[in-house]
Chain A
Amino acid sequence: MAQSLTGVGAAPAGRRRGSPWNSRIARWCWLFALPALILSTLFSFYPMVMSWWYSFLDWSGFTAKGNFIGLNNYRELIHDSTFWSAFGRSFIFMLVGTPIQIGIALLFAIVLNNQVLKLSPFFRTMIFLPVVTSAAIVGIVMTVVLGSFQGPVNQALLDLHLIGTPIKFLSSPHTALWSVLGIHVWKNIGITMIYWLAALQTVPTQLYEAAKVDGAAGRQVVRHITIPLLLPFAILIVILTAKGALHTFSIVQATTGGGPYFSTEVIETYIYQTAFAANDTGGVPRLGYASAAGCFFGVATLLIALIQAWAVRKVNTIRGQLKSEAGA
């Protein structure tokens, strides 16, 4: 995974002339890595380690100290059916949402990377706008837009005779999850589009020129030139987008609050409920238990990501072999 991530294979290799340069390089490398390493250690790794520690505590989060209870939180967790349903829904978000988001964003990026299209800066901004619109606002607007009371989507579907009665997009347990997923994808495509745009800049324009001279049609250019060159970057974009699909708290909270009756509850809302919210019957928050849920889920996704990365690497190796055979 590490290799495919940063394309170590593509990094300059012929560095064995003089060892002074080499050792200097190593020193520079660590010097360059240092600031980020310090920042991440303090503000990412340390808090992460702490949340692992919390997951072994019976702790409300506000008293000075919690009680160490070992693996009890985890033991309780694996018997909690609400957790597993939320777990499953988060995975649906990731597995279904990520490819759609990446595909549409790539389409937008390719079209809007075109210099001939004079209005593309304008369109790019439009596509990006939902990213910066606050989730609270999106939540309110979506209950109106997807509603059955004067909701434009239902109105259009009714007028086209595609449906007989209005669809309760957000309030029916059968459609709510998919509606929220759609809203999430729509809201975040702009970010993925930017990733793609950055990736596209590494594709030399001369290749396009050459292809045009050859008379290759646009679609073929994309297929034979753009996509192969983008592939290594694509893996990174998949990872970043998949991570985004797990951070859906604000949008779920703003549109359905996890309802109706848990049908849109994802890991993050589940954690929030157990960690902070005191429900109508009172009850003390359980930060330790919530941390256990977060850690457990994190490890599960990491494992799946590793398996995925391993598979991709396998495919790449095989492709590489095929290519070198063809070259020879």
Chain B
Amino acid sequence: MDQHESVAMPRRHLLGLLGGAGLAAFLSACGVSTKAASTGPKVPPMTFPHAKVKLPSGKVTFRWIDTGARKALFEKPLFAAYEKKHPNISIKYDGTGYDQVNQVVPLGMRNGSAPDVFAMPSNVPSVTAVQQGWVQPIQDLIPDFNTWQKAFPSGSFRVNSEIFNGKVYTFPLTGTKQVSQLMVYDVDYLKDAGVAPSDLATWDGLRQAAKKITRKGKGKYYGLMGSQSNDALVQGLANAAGWYTVAGMDMKTGEYNYHADEIVNAVELIRAMQSDGSVFPDSASLTPLDAVGRMPSRPAALICDGPFYFPQWDQAAPNWRWAARQMPGLKAGQQYYVPYSSAGENQIWVYAKSKYASVAADLLSYIGSLEGQTQLTIQTQGYLTPIMPAAIKKARAAGSLAPHAKMATEISDQLCRLEPDPQIRNADTAQVLTKVASVHPSFDDVMQGLFSGQLKNAKAELQQLDGRLNKNLDAAITKAKKSGAKVSRNDYVFPNWDPSKDYTQADYAAL
């Protein structure tokens, strides 16, 4: 009897435990839903064109790993269409963020089991990957390569970024003409507090608006959503106030300029807003991603973010009414500029030991065609910026951009200007990239310290940060020189840079 009971016991508790939480929820719930509230973006189905290369005829599992997010919006339907076209080929897609790509891809490359196509780990310089023989040139894979390549805008293929030893190894999937700091606001909260979106045009307007909204929110919601380091917010505010740099470097002087007054003042502004009590109180324990993820439950009216997670917001909270505008500046109506690179991003690499290089060729030649690029825009509803400007036009003509994507694209078109690029000037600077040591503490760390009160003097701390960055770059240049690269710090100085204009070939020539 005892034996029997001791067996029955766990079962009862199992039911109790697993059922308990669920049952209580069931009893208190008014209904059950098994269908997603929003069915996702309504996009036209994709079809894949006939292959121009000879494909394997047997059963094939083709492996593709990259960082997912918005790319998945395009790649998933793309692969589905491809599998439909070629039923013998199945594509195993992993879109899992850099954390995983950084750990998995290098290990796979070391022992010969890397996926057929992958995104380069963010901590592996592509020069190194080529030197180690991990990747193969797409030049020899893609049919009718020269015609294919001509469709890309100039500047898409750079020596030591896409071209190595005279061969093209990769191409950028997307363009970078995209503002990554926008002021996102909750339409209804603004209205309730009597704030007009145009009030957000200036720093002071932002502060007053956040105050008003917080007062109206009465502890249920707040004015501004921050994060651990507020780094995007600080840089966005500084940029709108006239701080022009490429990754912190003032290209006119070739020196890091995080200690600029615009940055320091932006830090002060946010500190002031914190003491106003109009910043979401738990901001300091949220990563940027956590902060973005909280927004659909509407704990704050304003957040600074790029369009990276807009599609997920659209999907998570289709009824939440929000809009985006450019960052607040010092004076209302003052135009500012956002430097962007002619080089695209999201390069795609083909593994040197891939058994199915022809499949890669087939897929890549489509993705890099105007049709593929147009589909990229349509399938992502404009959330991904194609490398070919013509593709945006076609997609726009088809009327397939999501409203929020349209907002972001319009602002980007208005603000973005081509930046000077040391690598176009001197391809050897790519060698420097492989030698730069990361800085500790970084900009992000310093911001955390300033906002948590562990660091007091913003100007001094940022000055030290710039010192560390400059020192590391100099050290890397010295190392690169030793290994044969012809580089100098002068390659980073562009005295004729005017941030309000595109930096063109003529400007490079005039140097």
Contact = CB atoms under 8 A, between A and B. Distances in A.
A182 interface: no
A255 B282 CA distance: 13
A62 interface: yes
A23 interface: no
B443 interface: yes
Contact of B452 (A64, A122, A140, A261): A261
Contact of B132 (A63, A170, A261): A63
B448 A278 contact: no
A149 B436 CA distance: 41
Contacts, number: 133
B452 A172 contact: yes
A173 B17 contact: no
Contacts of B435: 284
Contacts of B9: 121
A280 interface: yes
Given A126-B17, A279-B439, A281-B248, 10 more contacts: A62-B106, A64-B132, A143-B282, A171-B284, A255-B285, A257-B287, A260-B284, A278-B98, A279-B444, A280-B442
A54 B221 CA distance: 51
Most buried by B among A122, A262, A284: A284
A113 interface: no
Interface in A215-262: 255-257, 259-262
Interface of A: 60-64, 82, 121-122, 125-126, 140, 143, 147-149, 151, 166, 168, 170-173, 255-257, 259-263, 273, 276-286
B188 interface: no
Nearest to A146: B285
B444 A276 contact: no
A191 to B, nearest CB: 19
B247 A281 contact: yes
B282 A278 contact: no
Contacts of A280: 231, 442-444
20 contacts: A62-B128, A62-B132, A121-B9, A121-B10, A122-B16, A143-B285, A149-B299, A173-B453, A260-B451, A276-B99, A277-B102, A278-B122, A278-B123, A279-B439, A280-B442, A280-B443, A282-B122, A284-B125, A284-B436, A286-B437
B110 interface: yes
B235 to A, nearest CB: 10
B441 A62 contact: no
A172 B274 CA distance: 14
Interface residues of B, number: 57
Given A122-B17, A171-B282, A261-B455, A63 B442 contact: no
A64 B110 CA distance: 7
Nearest to B16: A122
A281 B123 contact: no
Interface string B406-439: 0000000000000000000000000001111111
A147 B282 contact: yes
Contact of A276 (B123, B280, B439): B123
Contacts of A277: 102, 123
A229 B81 CA distance: 68
B85 interface: no
A260 B448 contact: yes
Contact of B280 (A149, A172, A259, A278): A149
Given A173-B454, A259-B228, A261-B449, A283 B439 contact: yes
B284 A82 contact: no
A164 to B, nearest CB: 15
A82 B452 contact: no
A304 B410 CA distance: 62
B440 interface: yes
B290 interface: yes
A121 B17 CA distance: 11
Nearest to A143: B285
Given A121-B9, A140-B290, A279-B439, A147 B285 contact: yes
Interface in B259-307: 280-287, 290, 299
B13 interface: yes
Given A82-B440, A143-B286, A262 B445 contact: yes
A213 B433 CA distance: 79
